[in-house]
Chains A and B, each alone.
Chain A
């Protein structure tokens, strides 16, 4: 796999506060990555360091194969941070022309990318007349101008209305479908869950987890069960080796698995024991539950 961004033992201190602590991870080509963490966990600081706007305290990072200066590497990167930053007195088109000049890209891409985010008919309007959703879409167009190897998005839906959030997510999905590597920082779990294949979880600047989203917790899922023979069901569950913890909330029994087991196998077993289930659902923890479990454990 071709590495795009490698971070080794990165540390950033703001005075006494350690915003990022000994962080290491690698971004490979073709995957959609999420950086997940509550507010103030060091997501934006980490992105700021690799994007050349925040100075690191210790450690190092390099783009691509490491033989390119950071500011030249950034010409092959598209990034949107927190808020869209443009010159308010310029039109969308003029703003994008400026970005083209910085990145050394031909002006011909401007129309194409404005069309991608649906701003073509507003291109001669000044940036300050735009709504937040339009500003954010312009930021995406700007980040796409150079057909980047990787698109970095920091809280891209922050502060948008539901319609705006939906529009941005659709655009991100389209871009991901074309094979562009994406790095998405967010505190919104369902956002990461919906879009990302890999995730890095941060808390107070420390890495808690890094890897595939579906392997985030070594869990085999759990059954939600209801039956007439409530007590007998509990006895069976407690004696069975595949079942670990059992939680009871009124009628509903939640049984966590130690070993993999399919719902049909479980149903068959119950039938053999003479217990008829009125409710059987097999589920895996949502990212939110996994996230809370991760941050609680440590």
Chain B
């Protein structure tokens, strides 16, 4: 396993474009965190300090940071599709196999790298959240600090799932740009199917319940948007905006299921193909 990760990391790290993208995808989420922690002084009229709004309180901070950090997954998604696209366009995939890498090892080396990257991103976000929280949070009891730490697990699963999808699309169309295009098409397709479903069944709720089994939607639902939750903390009596923002085991199971399907399909594609 270590050999396969080393192999892929060498391919990625020596490529300037992917190196830059990897660094960006690690750094950008933090700059946002840091920026939002800074007091912004509006020419002496008033100071806006996001930390004072209570969004850096435990346990809600886990929810907020993972939600925002996951918006930056797109940078590494570009790396994932290009690491497949480049192997095809340079014909190095063919050469790798001839040199004695099995097709299974090839897919695994990509998958391990995805897991490795997701793990690094999760650990970094986890540590950063922990320290920012300690600094700003009004509550610092251990039981409250670690109450919603499952958002980190959700973040990790979300990254693995999304990058597995990118890997599969990369294998399917062999071209980086087209793979990203397909990703967008899939997003639209999910909404079209949702629209058709709610039109046919006359029930938005049923359509939503079906939609959450779709790949992109299931990944999105892992970490629900935290805005309404923040509003809720300010106005606790507003029951009509209450919603279910928790991470559920079945949400994780659906995304893990999709990841397994995407990796398996990528392997089957490679196995069937003549290079």
Which of A55, A85, A97, A101 makes the CB contact (< 8 A) with B95? A85
* 8 A-B residue pairs with CB within 8 Å: A55-B272, A74-B97, A75-B99, A75-B100, A85-B95, A101-B6, A101-B7, A102-B101
Instruction: Enumerate A98-150 residues with CB–CB distance to B below 8 Å.
Output: 98-99, 101-104, 142
Does the CB pair A71–B10 fall under 8 Å? no
Bitwise, B4-42 to A at CB < 8 A (1) or not (0) is 001100110011100000000000000000000000000
| Interchain CA distance A243-B271 in the complex, whole Å | 58
B138 within 8 Å of A (CB atoms): no
State the majority secondary structure of interface residues on B: helix
Interface-located stretch among B58-66, B86-94, B178-186? B86-94
Cβ–Cβ < 8 Å partners of A74 in chain B: 97-100
Residues of B within 8 A of A (CB): 3, 6-7, 10-11, 14-16, 86, 90-92, 94-103, 105, 271-275
In the complex, what residue of chain B is closest to A45 when comparing beta carbons? B274
B273 vs chain A, min Cβ distance (A): 8
B199 vs chain A, min Cβ distance (A): 41
A220 within 8 Å of B (CB atoms): no
Does the CB pair B91–A102 fall under 8 Å? no
Interface size of A in residues (CB-CB distance below 8 Å): 31
> How many pairs of A and B residues are in contact by the CB < 8 Å rule?
78
Does the CB pair B274–A71 fall under 8 Å? no
Known A74-B99, A102-B99, A102-B100; judge A97-B94 contact (CB<8 A): no
A52 within 8 Å of B (CB atoms): yes
Interface-located stretch among A25-33, A87-95, A177-185, A187-195? A87-95
Known A85-B95, A94-B10, A98-B11; judge A53-B274 contact (CB<8 A): yes
| Interchain CA distance A94-B92 in the complex, whole Å | 14
Cβ–Cβ < 8 Å partners of A79 in chain B: 98
| Interchain CA distance A87-B94 in the complex, whole Å | 12
A224 vs chain B, min Cβ distance (A): 46
Does the CB pair B274–A48 fall under 8 Å? yes
Does the CB pair B11–A87 fall under 8 Å? yes
